[in-house]
Amino acid sequence: GADNALACLHDEDYDVPFNKQNLNYEGLIFVGGREAESLNGEWNFCVDLLDTGLRQKWFAMTPMPAEERPEPYDYDPYVGETVPVPSCWSMLKEKWYFFEGSAWYTRAVDIAEMPADERLFLRIGAAQYDCKVFLNGEFLGNHYGGSTPFNVELTDKAKVGQNWLMLCVNNARTLDRVPMRNTDWFNYGGVYRAVELYRVPKTFVKDLFVRMLPDDTYSKIAIDVEVDGDSSQSAKVSIAELGIDEEIALDANGKGKVIVEAKPELWSPETPRLYDVVATAGSDRVTDRVGFRQIKQIGEELFLNGKSVFLRGISVHEDDEFQGKVLLDDDLKQRFQHAKELNCNFLRLAHYPHDERASKLADELGFMLWEEIPVYWAIDFKNPATFKDADNQLRELVKRDRNRASVIIWSVGNENPDTDERLAFMKGLVDTANEMDGTRLTSAACLVNHTKNRIEDRLAQYINVIGINEYYGWYEENFDDLIEFLDNSDPGKPVVISETGADGYIGEGKLEKGFFSEAYMAEVYRKQIATLKERAFVKGISPWILYDFRVERRQNMYQRGWNRKGLIASDKKTKKEAFKLLSDFYATLKEER
């Protein structure tokens, strides 16, 4: 009662205890082949604009009939409205469309038994943007970053019988976050990827990293395994089709590594060959399907498996007219189907980590991927906490996806202002990517010196591939400046045109010519294609963008809350004229090779 009353009087520091701890993608990192208990489904739900729940400690309320409550509360987490998990609340009710702030999710978790030789982990696929986790009234931690998975160990927290799990998810935009307040995509809120419980033996495979070493021999597979629990045991890793069956000794930290000679059939978009990998430690067993390939940059060249490669790409957001963030398998499949119709071999998954099913599908279907963290525009580069957040998002992404052959590029940012703080910040991220994974390339959408009209970015020296977003014919109205721009630039490294394009509105009231008309958009594509194909250092293109996508900041009568640069409209069906232009261009490139 007294606590509750005080909560109304004082505003300071009510949230401090809940922002201290930071949850990560740790503990149980490798989930391949494990059986999970899904916690998807209906959860009790309430938006909480004023953070009353943290002030009044809603999480500490015990479930009981309303008439027995000893004191009044302004919400009862255990009864009332429900929403499905996963989902974006923005898409569920019109009054939640622009909601930015905290929202509470509550559900019962029934635990039949808690054997002494097992451990229990809660895994949350993603929650936008921070997520405070409570179990049976106890605060277990807070995760920052809206697009990567994280874990909470529940072994000593959960009890046999009914438990109450609560998540307080907050999608408010602030200056110190990654991204910050201003982005060119919609700020959806919610728990929008799977929530699962995993039971593992006391000794379990915590992490597994399997890849071909990029040493030009195409014959060495490196396997890193990490075991939690009894590290006096060894781990075993086998790839039956390659005759690999290795016993791996573990150090005191449970870590072990081997390099094995093998001659796998190489993974490529043309032959997306994958091998079944099995790892065991004690009674624990995990599996994965892994492709082996080498991606390399030398000077201005890019090589896949020793052959020079051109990235016939398309950029894509994780956005859907009805779901918000993409939630459905069919939607993901349709995306790759459209990329195939475009004759692509490459996708830029902009501007944040997409659902982990995307890279798995790309592995199976044969697409190379650029994966990215939302170090977007002018984030707070001088703030160490902001760096920690960005670095953690990158680490979580790399841990999640580093067995995926499809992923060839880790991108550490997009169009960031040229300052010393930004350079140090982004170099730090490149170092993290290289330290965690020496088998991929690094990139970023780099800077253009608009006065000199040339590529100029101090970050370029630290990365392998220079991404360039250029909008000649659109934001840069004089198209011919592109020719001068390319003439003036001497990158010394492969350039991927990570964005180019124009808005083309094809709905009611559409224009026949000029900005925002489909015809104008097609003309920009025609000119871009003709100009870019002539440049030796351009080693790839991923135009902006596959589908029209929702965005708050674009409100003219042709946009109405949508970025209309999609080659396909927001219905994900209606193709614009430029679709065929790009598809035909990529078809000729495919034939030439």
- Binding to ligand GCB by CB under 6 A, coded x per residue (else -) over 181-220, reads ---x------------------------------------
Which of 39/466 has CB closer to ligand GCB?
A: 466
- Compute the radius of gyration of the chain from its Cα atoms: 25
Residue 251 C-beta: closest distance to ligand GCB, Å? 43
- Binding to ligand GCB by CB under 6 A, coded x per residue (else -) over 142-181, reads ----------------------------------------
Residue 267 C-beta: closest distance to ligand GCB, Å? 29
Residue 565 C-beta: closest distance to ligand GCB, Å? 5
Among 128, 345, 414, 432, binds ligand GCB (CB under 6 A): 414
Which residue is it, tokens 């075993």?
236
Examine residue 563 and tell whether it contacts ligand GCB (CB under 6 A): yes
Examine residue 228 and tell whether it contacts ligand GCB (CB under 6 A): no
Residues 6+ apart with CB under 8 A from 93: none
Which of 196/415 has CB closer to ligand GCB?
A: 415
Q: Give the separation between CA 346 and CA 358, rounded to whole angstroms.
A: 12
Residue 176 C-beta: closest distance to ligand GCB, Å? 20
Residue 499 C-beta: closest distance to ligand GCB, Å? 5
Residue 325 C-beta: closest distance to ligand GCB, Å? 16
Examine residue 415 and tell whether it contacts ligand GCB (CB under 6 A): yes
Long-range contacts of 474-477 (CB under 8 A, 24+ apart): 474/501, 474/502, 474/503, 474/515, 474/524
Residue 178 C-beta: closest distance to ligand GCB, Å? 15
Which of 244/551 has CB closer to ligand GCB?
A: 551
Euclidean distance between the first and final Cα of the chain, in Å?
A: 74
- What's 553's DSSP letter? T
Which residue is it, tokens 């591939």?
465
Which of 307/560 has CB closer to ligand GCB?
A: 560
The tokens describing 219, both together, are 């014959």
Residue 379 C-beta: closest distance to ligand GCB, Å? 13
Examine residue 406 and tell whether it contacts ligand GCB (CB under 6 A): no
Which of 184/518 has CB closer to ligand GCB?
A: 184
Residue 129 C-beta: closest distance to ligand GCB, Å? 18
Residue 119 burial (CB count, 10 A): 21
Which of 139/352 has CB closer to ligand GCB?
A: 352
Distances (CA, A) of 338 to 346, 392, 570, 573: 12, 32, 13, 9
The tokens describing 447, both together, are 């800077």
Which of 58/516 has CB closer to ligand GCB?
A: 516
Site for ligand GCB in 351-370 (CB under 6 A): 351
Residue 353 C-beta: closest distance to ligand GCB, Å? 15
Q: Give the separation between CA 214 and CA 353, rounded to whole angstroms.
A: 24
- C-alpha 200: how far from chain center: 26
Given a contact cutoff of 8 angstroms between Cβ atoms, the answer to whether 114 and 158 are in contact is yes
Which of 151/469 has CB closer to ligand GCB?
A: 469
* CA-wise closest residue to 168 among 113, 108, 101: 101
Examine residue 544 and tell whether it contacts ligand GCB (CB under 6 A): yes
Helix (H), strand (E) at residue 362: helix 356-365
Which of 333/553 has CB closer to ligand GCB?
A: 553
Site for ligand GCB in 457-486 (CB under 6 A): 469
Residues 6+ apart with CB under 8 A from 168: 18, 48, 53, 54, 59, 102, 103, 104, 105, 131, 132, 134
Which of 497/581 has CB closer to ligand GCB?
A: 497
Given a contact cutoff of 8 angstroms between Cβ atoms, the answer to whether 151 and 89 are in contact is no
Given a contact cutoff of 8 angstroms between Cβ atoms, the answer to whether 431 and 57 are in contact is no
Which residue is it, tokens 């929702």?
550
Region label for 531, one of left (φ > 0), alpha (ψ between -120 and 50) or beta (otherwise): alpha
Region label for 31, one of left (φ > 0), alpha (ψ between -120 and 50) or beta (otherwise): alpha
Given a contact cutoff of 8 angstroms between Cβ atoms, the answer to whether 151 and 182 are in contact is no
Question: Residue number with the shortest CB distance to ligand GCB?
Answer: 184
Residue 483 burial (CB count, 10 A): 14
Q: Give the separation between CA 435 and CA 310, rounded to whole angstroms.
A: 26
Site for ligand GCB in 248-287 (CB under 6 A): none
* CA-wise closest residue to 192 among 151, 232, 148: 148
What are φ and ψ of residue 503, in 5° steps? -75, 140
Examine residue 505 and tell whether it contacts ligand GCB (CB under 6 A): no
Among 499, 518, 523, 548, binds ligand GCB (CB under 6 A): 499
Residues 6+ apart with CB under 8 A from 417: 377, 378
Count residues binding ligand GCB (CB under 6 A): 9
Residue 415 C-beta: closest distance to ligand GCB, Å? 5
Residue 364 C-beta: closest distance to ligand GCB, Å? 28
Which of 186/387 has CB closer to ligand GCB?
A: 186
Residue 317 C-beta: closest distance to ligand GCB, Å? 8
Among 194, 565, 566, 570, binds ligand GCB (CB under 6 A): 565
Which of 132/565 has CB closer to ligand GCB?
A: 565
CA dihedral 114, 119, 125, 129 (to 10 degrees): 90
Given a contact cutoff of 8 angstroms between Cβ atoms, the answer to whether 30 and 207 are in contact is yes
Which of 132/351 has CB closer to ligand GCB?
A: 351
Examine residue 294 and tell whether it contacts ligand GCB (CB under 6 A): no
Which of 284/499 has CB closer to ligand GCB?
A: 499
Q: Which residues bind ligand GCB (CB under 6 A)?
A: 184, 351, 414-415, 469, 499, 544, 563, 565
